[in-house]
Structure 1
């Protein structure tokens, strides 16, 4: 058994813990923006392949006191880096957290890199070069107080980047947050799903990937662990083949994405095309004022503009009132979940919430408001 650490967005720790338990993880413990868990190599590969909520999976290799740059350098040099890379391999170091003496992430990363490459030069006369974009070994150093944890990064590029979304709207949801909102809405694939404000399509696409049981990792190029010395290519190919065999070919209930801007709707269609599901989703160019229910009941999930990055707040007040009126007058029998990032705008909806779930959209504190439409 190996100890791992999954990094997640603030507020999604318990959802990620549930997901990890479903994958078979043991010793699952939540902490701020992360989850500790244990498992074998198969689990490490499986989490990277299947997670819908986690940013990256780290493998801690050392924990040590870290009061200043000199101590950090010494502690990193105490490790035998021949176990992890040769001078011919490239390297990248990413740092999170800080303390009084180490408060600049680039400087801190430089100490780690120097400690490793100085050791290599002493041993062989050669040293690894830095490749920030596609390194053979990616390291993560996290400083909390006077302690540092140094980890191998098994994921590489953040797992929220599924690989299907080169086309993005003005303020898109991260794919991991979209997947979390879908979980929080308690939507099941047997229930019709509608996003009336779909933008570049992240919510309908994530719902479709879940309903068709498509592993998000199948859409990506490469994971960092594929370059590790102990990488097991046969196991990895078996897990990917198993994931492909578990995919469904047809949605049990329809999924709609509506957007009034034709260019942005085209972005959504391009994104769904990139993951092979464009024909599964009903994309519609639709103004909110002309929106009518496509069937008797279902789940509405949407992320309207809050006036933080998109839209003028005064203009948005009337838009929120319209949204409330459309839901109240036309969508009897449905349940709506709306991500609210602005309390004053939320009041304009004019509907009574049956649940209010706190979430974060990046650094913006939001409420996922639930409305039972009778």
Structure 2
């Protein structure tokens, strides 16, 4: 099978993490861009990327690139593609558009012009036209216009890859699964220590942490991918790729634990973890983090997503101060990471972060911070290292 170019889309800040994932999976010619990483692979690798990538939102397969200055050049460029090779007239399609161009400022107009060029070609060739289906299309076409360059791609994934397939119950403002996986990988989580999410909500960090620890493919629970409706869909190849990935799972010898003080959140998290077939690895308890203390020996890896004040009516100053106090007094020997959209509230934690990384949670500019809580005092640790 021959290799072709693909583009994996991701969130701002995760380009390096995604490139590393692709290299580890065996992609060729991996190149980072902004919110995307391009790479080469064959059809089997396209299946593998969709199944296994934790930090990709979509995997696109570019099929044409041309210059556009106005609606006529767009129409002509789209018409230059032989759409009969892409899908059949009795299949449905939809067009997604991303624009960054002074020549075009309405994505809906670009989508309509693209649709016209495609249906006109079919009508001229076979006297019939394919239908649009916005909800469950057989083929999802992606138009990306950057300045005067238009790239037409096939969306190999379908619905965004953060729809893992395990989360049916959600709490207030749950964290996106791709964002959660990216944060975990960025924090250095590899399954070689105990793990705690002290404000676990609907359990997304817990599920993603367990899948990373056991090397379980991120999208193994997903119901479908867009490429399954393509004319060259190869079910035997897909099953072979899936089996090969599942053969690389590994044992996990530590604990993954989640706390939440809301009984409804605990119930939802347990349900989602069960859906993901991860309940053997994860314990969830109803508890207020501020009343807990470290229970495990060795270094603890902690990752969480505290409320920002956008979501809950809380006294932010007091809440963030309690986070700092609890870490300082009750969690020695812990690497604690959390993401917050309330950058001002960080000063109330009362601890100096050893890392601070700019990310976006949806459209909200956020910070991922790391606090290293040493066993004993920091001074003692350094004295030991010097001896």
Q: How does 1:1-374 map to 2 (within 5 A)?
A: 1-248=3-250, 250-296=251-297, 297-307=299-309, 309-312=310-313, 315-374=315-374
| 1:129 to partner: Cα distance | 0.5
Corresponding residue for residue 384 of structure 2: none
Q: How many matched pairs? A: 371
Residues 192-240 of structure 1: CA distance to partner in whole angstroms, max 9, x if unpaired?
0001011111101100111122112211111111121222221111111
Contact preservation (8 Å) 1:4, 1:59: yes
Q: Is the contact between residue 141 and residue 152 of structure 2 (CA under 8 Å) also seen in structure 1?
A: yes
TM-score in terms of structure 2 length: 0.93
SS at 2:219 equivalent: helix
Structure 2: distance between partners of 1:112 and 1:242? 39
Q: How far did residue 155 of structure 1 move?
A: 0.6
User: How far 1:182 moved relative to its partner?
Assistant: 0.7
Cα deviation 1:290-327 (Å, max 9, x = unaligned): 111121331111111122x31246x1210111111111
* 1:60 and 1:151 in contact (8 A); partners too: yes
For residues 254-304 of structure 1, what are the alpha-carbon distances to aligned partners after superposition, in whole Å with 9 as ceiling and x for unaligned? 001110000011111111111111242110100122111121331111111
Deviations 1:18-77 (A, max 9, x none): 111111111111111111111111211110110000011111111111112222111111
Quote the Cα distance in structure 2 between the aligned partners of 1:353 and 1:137. 46
How big is the shift at 1:99?
Answer: 2.7
What's the secondary structure of 1:36's corresponding residue?
strand
1:80, CA displacement in angstroms?
1.2
- How much does 1:358 deviate? 2.2
3-state secondary structure, aligned to 1:219: coil
Q: TM-score scaled to structure 1, two decimals? A: 0.96
State the 1:101 CA deviation: 4.0
- Output the CA distance in 1 between the equivalents of 2:101 and 2:274: 45
Is the CA contact 1:87–1:126 (under 8 Å) kept in the aligned structure 2?
A: yes
8 Å contact 1:11–1:33 — kept in the other structure? yes
Q: Following TM superposition, by how much is the alpha carbon of 1:98 offset from its aligned partner in structure 2, in angstroms?
A: 4.0
In 2, Cα distance between equivalents of 1:344 and 1:129: 50
Give unmatched runs, 5+ long, in structure 2: 375-387
CA RMSD of aligned residues (A): 1.4
**Aligned mates of 2:227, 2:266 — CA distance in 1:** 36
Cα distance per residue 1:325-374 (max 9 Å; x no partner): 11100111111112132222111111121222222212222222111112
Instruction: After TM superposition, give the deviation of residue 82 of structure 1 in Å.
Output: 1.0
Q: What secondary structure does 2:32 align onto?
A: strand
Decide whether the 8 Å contact of 1:98 with 1:104 is kept in 2: no
Describe the SS at the equivalent of 1:216. coil
